[in-house]
A and B are shown apart, each in its own frame.
Chain A
Amino acid sequence: MQTHAEYRLSHLDELEAESIHVFREVVAEFERPVLMFSGGKDSIVMLRLAEKAFHPARLPFPLLQVDTGLDFPEVLETRDRWVGRLGARLVVASVEEAIAKGVVVDDGKTSRNRMQTGTLLDAIESHGFTAAFGGGRRDEEKARAKERVYSHRDEFGQWDPKNQRPELWSLYNGRLHEGEHMRIFPLSNWTELDIWHYIAREQIEIPSIYFAHQRRVFERDGMLLTESPLNPCRPGEEAAERTVRFRTVGDLTLTGCVESEASTLDAIVEEISVARVTERGATRGDDRFSEAAMEDRKKEGYF
């Protein structure tokens, strides 16, 4: 008789098992799921878990990417390799096209990141998606700490934090009315460090900008931003070459990098383990506007 101790899973294996369970529940119960894919590390880990959940069958849902027109080219390259390897179907919803269609309004003040929300909701509605997997984690931000794994959105795509369904055991309730959809967060219980440990363990391919590299950057609002034709220096700003890496990837006009020598997964894990600032606080302009910035964007239907 073996002892119980041999039948324990590591925390990563337990998180993996839980996430795979969520993927299978959703595919079994929803008519038209889709996976929201940004090309960032969290959505890549999600994709890896989805691959595991349905192997040896192909992914039973397409990927949806919101193209801001301001994405890092390295991220798009990685996306294309993943899509090619898995033989997945990719749906691209373009912010440019949404502006042209009048779905969202570019007033010159709203960031592209913020305009993603309207573009995303339009894509979900026009394709009739009933469940959209997102890579959000509860450790990211205070408002997310109270998010369900199955997060109900009304016919306007809005989240009502005070009226969430109780979520017990691993019994998920996917009931919807016409026009509503569900956001699904299979990584709810993962932390940033768990994500990195998992990427290292599984040797998962992620965009090269997560690793230390030489880049021309300049400082704006206390963040190090990348110099690019899409993001030129303003008067008074001066770009210089530094050794940097990104902790999150998003709209390149808003996503800052950090100075780092971490060029391997092990070095990144080491760096994250001793980090004293959250990944969003350090590098995301979009979360800085107010104490409740994330809560407000989530209510509107953000990821």
Chain B
Amino acid sequence: MDLLRFATAGSVDDGKSTLIGRLLLDSKAIFEDQLEAVEVTSTARGYDYTDLALLTDGLRSEREQGITIDVAYRYFATPRRKFIIADTPGHVQYTRNMVTGASTADLGLVLVDARQGLTEQSRRHAVLLSLLRVPHLVLAVNKMDLVDWSQEVFERIRDEFVTFASRLNVPDLEVIPISALQGDNVVTRSENMPWFEGSSLMHHLENVHIASDRDLRDVRFPVQYVIRPKSDEYHDYRGYAGQVASGVLKPGDEVMVLPSGLTSRIAAIDAFDHEIDEAFPPMSVVVRLEDDIDVSRGDMICRTRNAPEPTQDLDAMISWMTREPLRPRQKLAIKHTTRVARAVVRDIQYRLDINTLHRDTDSQELGLNEIGRVSLRTTQQLLVDPYEQNRTTGSFILIDEATGVTVGAGMIN
């Protein structure tokens, strides 16, 4: 059994909570006491139906306002896969939460209401998922029961979306007509839509091929921590602990440590109390080298002829996440892999209108929930790859040095 992380985007109006509630119910991830609590609350509020959205609105303020304001994580499993849902709110003022949810997702699920067709909001969701390089995208056309299961309506929405998505970077797209309320094409195939030849949403989630999404060619091993037991038994042990970002490491491999550029060979790879023959993403391992060279947290182990470029100049798309806008000359802390530095904003090249994809080059700042292309200069070298090649070595966060709060997320061009 493997693991698939997916992000959902949409609003209550699109039936997102109903869909998630159904996925959880039908995979038995919701327990009787949870369902009973929701039934009690629904009755108390005078609803004549069980409001499945109550299952997913975790905080009291959200329940009171009837909206989701934060990323919520949900879990369910089928015999084939374990799933982690990053459930994010859909409105534009919550763009930062959607970016957060999409950052770790293998798949993005966008919902539209069949009666409404594509809206500005659904286009924006697709843009964000493509910007975050979520490799698989599913458009679920919901509420098909309310358009008489019309093939024509579905195909019109599908074609419009496919045309729109061709302007984005979407490697894999699936469009599925569903009714979350009645369960059509959610877990089992719909008898109301015999004209649809594709698989149900659950079947697609269980079978979508994610094995090739990981980069197994370019070795990138950011050193997190140096393990030195200093005990009698392990007197000379010196191991470099980290999580493999990409590539496959094997004992005997010739490697280079950045930023020093010193080379050595892998003596052994430890996984707890035994040695292993190879390490690949996303394994957490300890690498030992043949030579006693200086390696510390923030360094990166890679291959001699395939290494990221050490640089102090970053050109990146930045998603801004705080009220006080980002402005030129602003100074921030930056965390990239296991390295922390300071950065200064050189230039805001443009602000991207995520609804129209228009680039506003006149903008001199980025406000809350806005995204733009920004040039940064850092105090020390970072070991970066383009985000489109590597979601680990191509991403960073920006931290306000006074408040300590995470204020931005960056994807390197």
Interface residues of A (CB under 8 A from B): 3-5, 7-11, 13-18, 20-21, 24-25, 27-28, 51-58, 138-139, 142-146, 161-162, 164-171, 173, 175-177, 188-189, 191, 193-194, 275-278, 281-282, 291-292, 295
Contacts and interface: CB of A to CB of B under 8 A. Distances in A.
B58 A143 contact: yes
Binding site secondary structure of chain B:
mixed
A144 B58 CA distance: 8
B284 A291 contact: no
A11 B1 contact: yes
A281 B31 contact: yes
B243 A21 contact: yes
B225 A291 contact: no
B77 A20 contact: no
Among the interface residues B2, B56, B82, B103, which one has the most CB atoms of the partner chain A within 10 A? B82
Given A56-B229, A171-B396, A142 B57 contact: yes
A168 B407 CA distance: 11
B96 A28 contact: no
Contact of A277 (B31, B70, B225): B31
Contacts of A5: 211
B77 to A, nearest CB: 7
B338 interface: yes
Contact of B392 (A3, A166, A170): A170
A173 B229 contact: no
Given A146-B72, A161-B70, A169-B395, 18 more contacts: A7-B280, A14-B282, A20-B284, A21-B284, A52-B272, A53-B284, A57-B227, A142-B56, A143-B59, A145-B56, A146-B58, A165-B406, A166-B96, A167-B406, A168-B104, A168-B395, A177-B404, A282-B33
Contacts of A20: 243, 284
- Report, as a range, how many residues of chain B touch the other chain: 35 or more
A171 B224 contact: no
Given A28-B297, A281-B33, A175 B404 contact: yes
Nearest to A202: B272
9 contacts: A7-B216, A9-B2, A20-B284, A145-B56, A146-B59, A162-B70, A173-B335, A276-B32, A281-B34
B395 A56 contact: no
Contact of A166 (B216, B248, B321): B321
A166 B97 contact: yes
Contacts of A15: 3
B182 to A, nearest CB: 24
A189 B58 contact: no
B87 to A, nearest CB: 8
Nearest to B100: A166
A166 B98 CA distance: 10
B75 interface: yes
A115 to B, nearest CB: 23
Contact of B59 (A28, A54, A161, A169): A161
B103 A168 contact: yes
Contact of A171 (B229, B234, B297, B397): B397
B41 interface: yes
Contacts of A143: 58-59
A173 B332 CA distance: 13
B211 A145 contact: no
A138 B75 contact: yes
B92 interface: no
Nearest to B216: A7
